[in-house]
Chain A
């Protein structure tokens, strides 16, 4: 690998004999574009996979607005906001890691990828150890220990419906985060071995697309779950 970088294959994009070129592709550009399009098509399926949840959430929110507003007010906005910021930072470090690969800085790739993984783990840490633990202690987990509160009155089943969707959406999102972190650890190992060069960084670009998509899902989850709760005049948090 080192010699390839040394004699500066540089940006011969139509390289038809690079070792990374798979046998059934004609040139590197075709291979990169195919991988890129493949990931985007996969992200379209993910949009519709989460879409089913967003559609159901929208329907029940339209039908049971008071219950959903009570539920949303029970969530802690501070955790939601910090998590959003954490994910946005991880998107930045991911993009910079790809840029480091494009410019051939191997050490920067490894540092930035590690940073992305740490930020992802931080997101999950905040989500599991703070938010979900509090919700569990306050008996807000449907199907596990959900207890209706008298002040909800007849809206109790609708508050439970809110929390059903809260837990399903955030757990599927967290699952995608875990898969993302797994992917990143493989990439970090490959980057450490200098696998990515300005001509061949497809796995990085493709995993970056996946990571940014998971960030976009959270960008929509955050307002839908935390913010549209009619918390006018109420201080942050509960």
Chain B
């Protein structure tokens, strides 16, 4: 019997715990990195939403923040890092280059990272203003709250 009272309450508690303690792995490559620095630092502080803790290893992070242009040469690296992340994991595409290849429509750039990995939140902008980054983060937290939580004994399928 899916989602009886007990497991939905547990789901909600799990979702609350996960959305306010997102450890992000900054996969930073290009100009959006400068705006990521501004968003992560004191002025626009990403830490107010619990996501300030930067983890530089995919094993300890649950949010892959892909920031900046992803060239074709970097595509396998991004795929490897995404695969090596532990579950549950989410992906934010930060900046126009990750969303759709941005202004670089040529032989060298992957036209959007959803060609390589599944993406949860797309943040447009070249580079997006720090407020847009924080708004994207809030949307991800909203998405975590509404989607059913995946945990060991509950859904084996997805």
Q: Do A and B bind each other?
A: no
